[in-house]
Structure 1
Amino acid sequence: MHAGGAARLRTVTLAVLTLSLTAAATGCGNDSGGQSGEVTVGIALPTTKQTRWIADGNNMEKLFKEQGYKTDKQYAEDSVEKQVEQVEAMIDRGDKLLIIGAVDGFELGDALQKASRAGVKVIAYDRLLLGSSNVDYYASFNNYKVGELQARYIIDKLGLKKGGNAGPYNIELFAGDANDNNVRGFFSGAMDTLNPFIEDGQLKVPSKQTRLSQVTTFKWQADIAQETMTTRLNDFYKGSSTVDAILAPNDGIARGLIKALKKDDYGTTAKPMPIITGQDAETESVNEIIAGEQSMTVYKDTRKLAEVAVKMAQDILSGKQPEINDKTGNDNGNKVVPAYLLAPVSVDKSNYKKLLVDSGYIKASDLN
């Protein structure tokens, strides 16, 4: 071989070796098949009016960034039309996977169809997407258990027992937005637990508002719940009659109810605050619990939910089968959506430090 040919051969060999080592180094430590840097994940969430959704978005964004993915995060501020536009724009921009916390689970059918045609997989986040076959996975909490925990807290604090003769105690019932599928799970879990005591007379509902259709709260708005509670107090709690317990579905609504109760002189020695439930362990409501105004909240560690959703997305984008733990319980009216459901936890004044502060979910400096 001529000297020039040998030199060219050495040059080519070194170039190939360099490219191989570079490719190997790029692949190391990237569990998404080396594609994460080229992939954008769309994150469509309902609102910034509830602090938990801000935390959800930030948690997912951080986790995706750590894995080398880009994110396209949008909040719809409770507007169905805006969320539809945001989701369709994500598809048009080439986002490879969508994680959607819906404003209204029924209203995204056309956008989901568009995603399917574009080959974009969809994960329903916290709220199940309804009426569409184009929902691939669902990441959430056990919603039935949330309602069960709220109801069980009321029962335990009032000292009710099956077949007992306690009370009768007055209770009022509230639920979230009618178009949020989770509301059905929450309310079913609560009412399956409370109904035996309503039926045997230990609990009474003076307003007679006991069906889900009667107690929903538009867009989970606290001011609407406050107005509703004020009306019920004026109409059904005359004279010495007082409310003993309120099934509040989340912390925001609980705070609205507390405002109505305070205006009616609850929270005094003569009229102590009723038992009031909640959900989401929001800092403002944990302070209400410390102050003795809200009784409990249901803690759903949204950091763990973000981890579940991000891992699902990584598996899908890597061609792997995501881990699920519920194959049968999440029928959206068109298909049963495979899901991974996390367990919620009851929190009150006795355990908030251990569960919320010691775990780093809430900073001690943010609490009273």
Structure 2
Amino acid sequence: MRKGFLTLATVGVLAAGGTAACGPGSAEAGGGDRKPKIGVILPDSRTSARWEGADRRYLEAAFRAAGVDYTIQNAQGDKSSFSTIADGMLTAGVTALMIVNLDSGTGRAVLDRARSQGVATIDYDRLTLGGSAEYYVSFDNKAVGRLQGEGLSRCLADQGAEHPVVAFLNGSPTDNNATELKAGYNSVLGPKFTSGTYVRGPDQPVPDWDNAQAGVLFEQMLTRTEGRIDGVLAANDGLGNAAISVLKKNKLNGKVPVTGQDADVQGLRNILAGDQCMTVYKAIRKEADAAAALAVSLANGVRRDTGQTVRDPESGRDVPAVLLEPKAIYQENVKDVVADGYVSRDRLCTDPYAELCAAAGIS
């Protein structure tokens, strides 16, 4: 990965102009005179509230502001539906296609079909391994993982546990983001296991980021260790909430630090209540705006220079990329997520969280 993050000023340049070249949808590239139209395929609405609650909203706003024709559909976790939606969009004449893959195999097939028809492509949030997307727009997932590892270390220190046992609820094994997250938090926690400061406990991926499966897996972990789990590295807020639900049943919530990611409403409420140690906030609006700016350019047959690349570990290809910076959220700065407009106070601070919000300075 080329060093440094794409600045927001550069994202603005992507929207307004900047270095350009003909893309596959342009007349010069053989795309003809097709009317610019953008297709977006979201993955599901079950594993994380962000896809429908944030990404769709911000992408729609960005496309409307650009005055471009678009369609956004959700595959609801179904690979067959994902492929069918893509075929429908290609038949309908999209000139740029943005996907959040369900797995690299399905995503790769869709990207290849789009490319064969001269349709420009973007991997949004998840890199399709071995794929042919022209751009990748996401947050630095290794940085997200490092923040999670640092957060869990901070919260374990606050608990004062000696040689704490740390359990892992990792993301889906078919999602490259989960691989990068794990590399990030292992870079922080690995040395602590090696030195004997921490004890490595159960460590399992959660297929398809499924929260229900996460709850079952964590209950089994707790049983297997006879209740001796002192910290939980959960890869996102949904998995974290699944672990917290099990901890509540065993009257251990608040005593065992749990991490998360996405800063969704439930995760933030868990933090305010003291049941979750921290989460990682990714300003989805900035991600959506950057991706929309690239998609609008590509839909019009114009490529932009992002100044960054990521290496596809499967193909070895350097993919032009936009990587944004994540932010760690603890109880004392939950208010920052509200101030940024990602979550509204009215939605977050309903009873019984109103007093907790006031105590955290959320007004």
d(CA) in 1 for partners of 2:44, 2:107? 16
* Dislocated runs of 4+, deviation >3 Å: 30-33, 317-321, 328-332
Matched, 1:255 2:241: yes
1:111–1:334 distance in 2 versus 1, CA, 3 Å: farther
TM-score, length-scaled by structure 1: 0.82
For the residue of structure 1 that corresponds to 2:137, the secondary structure is strand
Tell me, in whole angstroms, the C-alpha distance in 2 between the residues paired with 1:206 and 1:195.
12
Between 1 and 2, higher relative CO (CA 8 Å, sep ≥ 6) is seen in 2
The aligned runs of 1:89-100 (5 Å cut-off) are 89-100=88-99
Aligned match of 1:148 in 126, 146, 150? 146
Encode CA deviations 1:12-68: one digit per residue, 9 max, x unaligned: xxxxxxxxxxxxxxxxxx9899xx994220000101222100120221112101211
d(CA) in 1 for partners of 2:96, 2:37:
7
Aligned residue for 2:319, secondary structure, equals coil
1:321 deviation in Å? 3.3
**Does 2:209 match 1:220?**
yes
State the secondary structure of the residue aligned to 2:304.
Answer: coil
Distance 1:42 1:235, change over 3 A: same
Greater strand share, structure number: 2
Confirm or deny that 1:292 pairs with 2:291: no
Matched residues in 2 for 1:184 and 1:307: separation? 25
Distance between the aligned counterparts of 1:105 and 1:61, measured in 2? 25
Give the distance between the partners of 1:61 and 1:37, measured in 2 at CA: 21
SS at match of 1:131: coil
User: For the structure 1 residues 291 and 323, does the alpha-carbon distance in structure 2 shift closer, same or farther, using more than 3 Å as the test?
Assistant: farther
Shift of 1:197: 0.4
- Larger gyration radius, structure 1 or structure 2: 1
Q: Which residue of 2 aligns with 1:231?
A: 220
Does 2:151 match 1:157? Answer: no
Q: Cα distance, 1:166 vs. partner? A: 7.6
Spell out the pairing of 1:43-62 with structure 2 (5 A cutoff): 43-49=40-46, 50-54=48-52, 55-62=54-61
Instruction: Tell me if the contact between 2:37 and 2:96 (Cα under 8 Å) persists in the aligned partners.
Output: yes
Contact 1:52 1:280 in 2 (8 A): yes
Change (3 A) 1:294 1:257: same
Name the counterpart of 1:363.
Answer: 344
Aligned match of 1:68: 67
The TM-score, its normalising length taken from structure 2, stands at 0.83
**1:319 deviation in Å?**
4.1
Could you tell me whether the CA contact under 8 Å between 2:140 and 2:326 is conserved in 1? yes
User: CA offset at residue 88 of structure 1?
Assistant: 1.5
What are the residue-to-residue correspondences of 1:109-148 with 2, within 5 Å? 109-132=108-131, 134-148=132-146
What is the rounded CA distance, in whole Å, between the counterparts of 2:316 and 2:41 in structure 1? 22
2:9 aligned residue: none
Q: Which residue of 2 aligns with 1:170?
A: 165
| Gap runs ≥5 in structure 1 | 1-29, 210-214
In the alignment, the residues of structure 2 paired with residue 109 and residue 330 of structure 1 have an alpha-carbon distance, to the nearest angstrom, of 12
Residue number in structure 1 paired with 2:263: 281
C-alpha separation in 2, matches of 1:323 and 1:148: 28
Instruction: Please give the per-residue CA displacement for 1:263-291, whole angstroms capped at 9, x wherever unaligned.
Output: 11213xxxx42111000000111111111
Q: Which runs of 5+ in 2 are unaligned?
A: 1-15, 21-25, 27-32, 354-363
Tell me, in whole angstroms, the C-alpha distance in 2 between the residues paired with 1:349 and 1:229.
24
Given that 1:312 and 1:323 are in contact with CA atoms closer than 8 Å, whether structure 2 keeps it comes out as: no
- Given that residues 38 and 299 in structure 2 are in contact (C-alpha distance below 8 angstroms), is that contact kept between their aligned partners in structure 1? no
What do you get for the CA RMSD once the two structures are aligned?
Answer: 2.4
* SS state at 2:318 partner: coil
Secondary structure of the 1:146 match is helix
> For the Cα contact (< 8 Å) 2:103–2:174, is it kept in 1?
yes
